[in-house]
Structure 1
Amino acid sequence: MDVYDLFSSCRKGDICRVRYLVEQRDVDLNVRDKWDSTPLYYACLCGHEELVQYLLASGAKCEANTFDGERCVYGSLSDSIRRLLKDYKCVSVRAMQRNDFNYFLHMLLEQGQHSDVKFQVHGQTFPAHRCVLSARSEYFTEMFETKWNGKSLITLKHPLINPAAFGAILQYFYTGRMDIDINLVEDSRRLAKQCKMTDLIEELENKCKQVYDFVSSKPGTYVHVLSLEPHTCQLQEEMAQLADSALPTELQVGFGELPFNRVNRFPTYPDICFRVEGYDFLCHKAFFCGRSDYFKALLEDHFSEGEQLQSQPSTPMLTLHNIPHEIFIHIMYYIYTDDTELRMEDVFDVLCVADMYLLPGLKRLCGKTLAKTICEENVLHMWKTAKLFRLSRLEDQCTEFMAKIIERLVEQAEFAEIIKEDAASLEERQETDSVPLVDDIRYHIASNVQTYSAIEEANQKLEALEELLSSINIDC
């Protein structure tokens, strides 16, 4: 429903609604409809310049000389929007951090923190992580165990290996995305064939055909860069193998039973062991430090590698206290895959630990799980939880639900107390200043009112709310 609302609002040019959907509802800006069109494309097509500016600043993808970029430019209603698109350089850091897992993977490749292998290709050096390459490619798994076994510097001298194409292949391994100069597509395809990446070869061929058809039908356009978008599910599944392998043997259930499950037969090269309630989890600093500032400070700034794992003397060990191993498993899978299957009986514990370990994305995931259970009996508790853990989307969903049941809610003493507390929490609040909770409920009552009967119902709800405010002496 939110996605449909986003497309509709972009066609209308309703920037307030788009801002609400993006910032409060966490709707993906780069979602595509059945015509392979994005919200930005419709905003350009319908001539909403201010909205186009907002979408670009918030992370809508429109790189110059790419398929999406050229399509938006070609379809723009006005020259001013075309100029705006052409002046657009790159996704801002703020926009990249909206999807922090993609940002993490991008920075892991760019900065090479905690890398354990380097590739040298005709004078260019590419730091990498054997765990990532092994999880993503059986070819690299085999090479690390045979020809490249024990090597930290691997020199690739073949004259047909182009450094830029090799960098693009690494980008694909790490992020699932590939941006390659159109003139280097054949070099990339050759490398993909060498690495036995049949899926990538097929993607490149399909994208080349799509670009060719587009350029042929739009005279005057030219695409310089070929971009492949990531298949998030596949990337997560393959990164999950690292979490599977990190599980202690006694906690692994059913692994190795299926012929395509590689978890028991490829090394992941761990460099840190977390001991939790006596269980040893063999993990990777690159992931834990890159995903959590808590672990970054713990492992890089304050960790003395005094303890060693007896079974692997070269692997330092750190004992984590006050966390059940079941909850740590959720933390670990989230760190490696940006996802974890949450049960309602665990979600509050995971939320507390995610807050302690500075994992805002996992907190949002907990918020999504909690949102599915909002009901009249728990909505006030949920709202308090959302406020406590700064879960803006859950908070908004709670106030939206409150707006629906406001006529019954005003009869509850707890609701009146919550409004008083929210008013008191504002520093230097004047008597007539607004109260955020009240404002949010009013907004949801009034939003999307389109019929006379709906207007009458909304007025009744607003009257009920005003009566409560009057009874507790709050003027806002």
Structure 2
Amino acid sequence: MNKIFSELCYACRVGDKENVDRLASTGVNLNAVDEFDNSPLFLASLCGHEEVVKLLLERGAVCDRDRYEGARCIYGALTDSIRDILLQYDISKAVDLNQPFVMHLSSLLKESAYQTHDICITSLGSKQNNRLRLHKFILNTRSPGFAGQVDFFNGGKHCIEIPSSVSPTVLEIVTKFIYLVPVLHEIDARDMNCLIDLSALWGMSELKEFLERVRHVIDPSEKSTMMVEYQHRITERAREQLCCFVNDNILRNAVDVGPNLSLRSQELISMFNSSAFPDLIVVVENSMGLKRFYPCHLAILSRSNYFKIMFDLPLAECFAYKQFKAYRNIPSPTEIPTVSFPPCEFEVAELLLRYLYYDASEIPWQYAMDVLLIADHLLEDRVKSMAAVVITQSKDILEEYSIFQILYLGWETRMERLEHYAAKIVANDIQRYAKDPELKKAIMLSSTRISIRQETDSIEFVDDMRYYLLQKYAFEADDVEFLGEEDDEDLLKASGFSDYMKDNSTIEALLGKLNLQA
């Protein structure tokens, strides 16, 4: 650890704002950690130096609660006011590598077991003549001006040579930018003019704006702050671009066919000729037997664990990828690979596609149950969690579904959140639900789910209801034991203990009727 950073850590620990200001101005890395894994921001927040915390954040220190160090800062803060300041600066939704779709998009620049690229680009200035293996749909989406400079549409060239005036270094930086690899810190002042010209030519306005601003900034900490700001803007802009791409090129080019019918050969060819630049077709069949065909991309579907496993297996031959290689022209209908989603409504499939392409997280409550089920099939745990949150927070869901449908779905998809939610709803209105035969069925089903039998079996659903009964009346287990020995009826009524015992007796009565012990 260098001397300047050691001094900075000490100044943050003791609250020496003047020294922190001086040392930060030297360009020292404000987000480094000492031998005890403590960052300057963590030390200042832990020791309660609010002004130092503000100064560090203004100078580019990062507080990101999705990372270990950021979480330590927030939860280790000495005062609530410091914690509030840190939360205001929290960039957990802005740091690119914490965004799953960004991580996936960046990973596409690496070679994979199955080739997903359909275009290669090389700079004539490269001595090694290295090729960048890229994707037409990403280039067209993220760099709208690029398509106007080179003809790769409608069976055009699949290998593009960039003039030697664009150095391999500049081309690599631009490519990383397009694929959302954090690259702003790699830019050399000598490449600035060429990068500005190229970003203007290829329609990358955020990169151009950043370069024009940062070239006049000398203070390293100010540069760091600017990079954080622009990385967030770049990510959000990419999300908007991919949203438009899905709307304009995938959903708009989808084709519906009736029950027991298939897509005509010419329609398939037309779909592959579209501006979506697809390399596979996703087929979805809804409850009416109608089918919808979506032009999609192996590069994006491979983000789903379900499809990734499928593509990694020898079954890849089924998708015609041995015949349909990169750089080929439009394949014949027999070569066009297709994959199927589990049967569901088209709206549900489109919510999943939007998530895979750009992390769309808005799930209308009307579709949340179906989204959860399909996401479980596709092994998408993050989508399952988002759908479960919508279900448990919706005020309207119980008008459409019974609490027992939600419980059973929770069991089927292994979402404990739904199990607890159902137990809480039932416990809070146990007198009404006790009259519903479905409650007895739910308790019996829960009893069959016991994995380890003991002298007195534990039934999870019943245990959860008892727990939420305690919460309903704001009791602890010790309170129940204490009040159970009390004879003062007025006290028992006033404390709510009488009502608690009535509800608890209702549960016991149900167990008695079912001949169950729990």
Normalising by structure 1, report the TM-score: 0.60
Determine if contact 2:256/2:291 at 8 Å carries over to the other structure. no
The CA RMSD over aligned residues, in Å, is: 5.4
- Please state how far the C-alpha of 1:466 moved relative to its aligned partner: 3.5
Give the alignment partner of residue 276 of structure 2, picking from 249, 262, 268.
268
Determine if contact 1:410/1:465 at 8 Å carries over to the other structure. no
* Change in CA separation of 1:416 and 1:234 when aligned onto 2, cut-off 3 Å: same
- SS in structure 1 of the partner of residue 303 of structure 2: helix
Determine if contact 2:257/2:291 at 8 Å carries over to the other structure. no
The answer to whether structure 1 residue 316 and structure 2 residue 336 are counterparts is: yes
Equivalent residue number for residue 173 of structure 1: 178
Determine if contact 1:306/1:316 at 8 Å carries over to the other structure. yes
The Cα offsets for residues 315-355 of structure 1, whole Å up to 9 and x where unpaired, read as 51437598467365555444434448766766655554444
Give the alignment partner of residue 199 of structure 1, picking from 197, 201, 206.
206
For 1:128 and 1:339, the matched residues in 2 are separated by: 24
For 1:411 and 1:365, the matched residues in 2 are separated by: 32
Pairing 1:223-372 to 2, within 5 Å after superposition:
228-229=231-232, 230-231=235-236, 233-240=239-246, 241-248=248-255, 267-274=275-282, 280-294=293-307, 297=310, 301-302=314-315, 303-304=317-318, 313=332, 316-318=336-338, 320=340, 323=343, 326=346, 328-339=349-360, 351-371=372-392, 372=394
Give the alignment partner of residue 131 of structure 1, picking from 118, 131, 137.
137
Pairing 1:384-395 to 2, within 5 Å after superposition:
384-395=408-419
The answer to whether structure 1 residue 467 and structure 2 residue 490 are counterparts is: no
Determine if contact 2:423/2:461 at 8 Å carries over to the other structure. yes
* Change in CA separation of 1:133 and 1:466 when aligned onto 2, cut-off 3 Å: same
- Please state how far the C-alpha of 1:381 moved relative to its aligned partner: 1.8
The Cα offsets for residues 440-473 of structure 1, whole Å up to 9 and x where unpaired, read as 4455555699899xx9778567545532443316
* Change in CA separation of 1:321 and 1:243 when aligned onto 2, cut-off 3 Å: closer
For 1:436 and 1:208, the matched residues in 2 are separated by: 62
* Change in CA separation of 1:395 and 1:134 when aligned onto 2, cut-off 3 Å: farther
- Please state how far the C-alpha of 1:390 moved relative to its aligned partner: 2.4
* Change in CA separation of 1:348 and 1:247 when aligned onto 2, cut-off 3 Å: same
- Please state how far the C-alpha of 1:131 moved relative to its aligned partner: 0.9
Determine if contact 1:203/1:228 at 8 Å carries over to the other structure. no
Determine if contact 1:139/1:195 at 8 Å carries over to the other structure. yes
Determine if contact 2:456/2:517 at 8 Å carries over to the other structure. yes
* Change in CA separation of 1:76 and 1:328 when aligned onto 2, cut-off 3 Å: closer
Normalising by structure 2, report the TM-score: 0.56
For 2:282 and 2:153, the matched residues in 1 are separated by: 31
* Change in CA separation of 1:438 and 1:269 when aligned onto 2, cut-off 3 Å: same
Determine if contact 1:293/1:357 at 8 Å carries over to the other structure. yes
Equivalent residue number for residue 118 of structure 1: 120
- SS in structure 2 of the partner of residue 145 of structure 1: coil
- Please state how far the C-alpha of 1:214 moved relative to its aligned partner: 5.5
* Change in CA separation of 1:96 and 1:135 when aligned onto 2, cut-off 3 Å: closer
* Change in CA separation of 1:244 and 1:43 when aligned onto 2, cut-off 3 Å: farther
Gaps of 5+ in 1: 1-40, 49-55, 78-90, 217-221, 252-262
- SS in structure 2 of the partner of residue 127 of structure 1: strand
Equivalent residue number for residue 55 of structure 2: none
Instruction: Please tell me the residue identity of whatever aligns with 1:244.
Output: L
The answer to whether structure 1 residue 141 and structure 2 residue 147 are counterparts is: yes
* Change in CA separation of 1:274 and 1:236 when aligned onto 2, cut-off 3 Å: closer
For 2:108 and 2:301, the matched residues in 1 are separated by: 11
Determine if contact 1:245/1:264 at 8 Å carries over to the other structure. no
Equivalent residue number for residue 107 of structure 2: 107
| Residue identity (%) | 17
Gaps of 5+ in 2: 1-40, 49-61, 79-91, 259-270, 285-289, 325-329, 480-493
- SS in structure 2 of the partner of residue 282 of structure 1: strand
Determine if contact 2:255/2:293 at 8 Å carries over to the other structure. yes
Determine if contact 1:273/1:280 at 8 Å carries over to the other structure. yes
For 1:352 and 1:46, the matched residues in 2 are separated by: 43
Q: Which entry has the higher C-alpha Rg, 1 or 2?
A: 2
The answer to whether structure 1 residue 375 and structure 2 residue 378 are counterparts is: no
The Cα offsets for residues 408-439 of structure 1, whole Å up to 9 and x where unpaired, read as 44454433442343243121232446543345
Determine if contact 1:469/1:475 at 8 Å carries over to the other structure. no
* Change in CA separation of 1:60 and 1:132 when aligned onto 2, cut-off 3 Å: same
- SS in structure 1 of the partner of residue 184 of structure 2: strand
For 1:367 and 1:173, the matched residues in 2 are separated by: 33
